[in-house]
Amino acid sequence: MPSTPSTSIEVPAPMDTLPFRSNSKGVRLDPRTLLKSGKIDWERLGALNNTSLVHAKDLDRETVVALARAAALLESVHIEETKPLDGKIAITAFFEASTRTRLSFESAVLRLDGKVLSVPDGQVTGIAKGESLVDIGEMFNTYGDVVIMRHPATESVDEIRQNLAVPLINAGNGSGQHPTQGLLDWYALLKWRPTLATPDCPKEDRIHLGIVGTPGSMRAVKSFVRIALRFAGAVEKITIVSEMADPVGLDLGNEVENSPITVEVTNNLQEVVADLDAIYMNSIALLGDSYKRLDSRYKLSPDTNLKPGAVIMHPLARNNELDPALDDTMHNLYFAQAAGAVFSRQALLCAVLGRIGRLADIAGR
Ligand code: CP
């Protein structure tokens, strides 16, 4: 791969020329604006070959941006002939319920001509007979080239890795982490405002992020905030809205303390909402082995005093914290997050499976 890589993608005019036309409600994002904002760092992506992604703290700012730009490339061009994942098998091992994560990973692989072995429910495996994750990891080594696992137990990623020799992508481990959710969240945010991806983001483009939820116990929020803390210079301030005295928790707390970004906590959403440029909502936490709804007393609806141009993010599934009446408004970035998941995950899979060179060839480097 070249040491000074670049992309030669020409940006045509209408969105309708894109290979994938999302009919989703809400904000429609043009991936080509992110592609124009800077070069794709192919070398950094090449270094992800044969690596696992378990924790959001393993992602630095440059890698998040490089993966987002590669995702934007995948969303912008016709790649049918290239078959980037031809000959590769992904195992999606889901021991906990999922709509978006499993299906978008599987769609990502299949659209790139890879193959999928799908475990939609742990009870169809030897787990039902008392088999350990350690032994299942050993089995996976010859069955696939990458394992994408979701599990309700935080320690599950350590267990399966004891014998696993192929890369592991953590698709959510209890209240631990959901790093690929963080990647796709940032992919949506960087498409929405591509200057956030640049090292010298203009002051007027910097954002005040609102977090309605508890990063300490919500894995999607935790991974999103962890990545946000890497974007000092683009994120002016983070305000966490929660009834809890310490919504951040120990794990993230140290990083918050050492960050140059101002992080505040309030229990009054109405007091801050009109100043927020992007609001990340969530209400679902995994505590122990069951789901709990936290912070669902904070609700957003068309009656909320939102800043004009502000966007609402949500990993989904939602409950009544997010009024469906907002779906048809330009505040809705949450459907764009879910739609972009396919391309964000394709970029990661191409990198982890050593196929990033095929994408670089499409871009003309
Ligand atoms: N965002 C997310 O993790 O959704 P699923 O639980 O449907 O995978």
> Taking a C-beta distance cutoff of 8 angstroms, is the pair 83, 110 a contact?
no
181 lines ligand 1 (CB under 6 A): yes
* Interval 168-176 mean pLDDT: 96
CA of 276 to the centre of ligand 1 (A): 25
> Distance between CA 234 and CA 199 in Å, rounded?
8
- Of 94, 98, 106, 335, the one to substitute when testing ligand 1's pocket (max ligand atoms within 8 A of C-beta) is 98
pLDDT tops 80 at residue 291: no
> Distance between CA 119 and CA 156 in Å, rounded?
16
Closest protein CA for atom 5 of ligand 1: 98
CA of 219 to the centre of ligand 1 (A): 11
Residue with tokens 């907002």: 326
- pTM attached to this predicted model: 0.94
What domains sit in the chain, N to C, each tagged with a CATH number? 6-177+341-360 (3.40.50.1370), 179-338 (3.40.50.1370)
CA of 335 to the centre of ligand 1 (A): 12
* Interval 90-102 mean pLDDT: 97
Helix (H, G, I), strand (E, B) or coil at 180: helix
Given this model, what pLDDT does residue 13 score? Answer: 53
CA of 39 to the centre of ligand 1 (A): 30
pLDDT digits (tens, 9 = 90+) for 307-354: 999 999 999 999 889 999 999 999 999 999 999 999 999 999 999 999
pLDDT digits (tens, 9 = 90+) for 222-239: 999 999 999 999 999 999
137 lines ligand 1 (CB under 6 A): no
CA of 36 to the centre of ligand 1 (A): 30
Lowest mean pLDDT among 175-184, 258-267, 291-300: 291-300
Helices (H), 277-330: none
CA distances from 332 to 27, 42, 65, 240 (A): 6, 32, 22, 20
SS (H, E, C) 105-156: HHHHHHHCCCEEEEECCHHHCHHHHCCCHHHHHHHHHHHCCEEEEEECCCCH
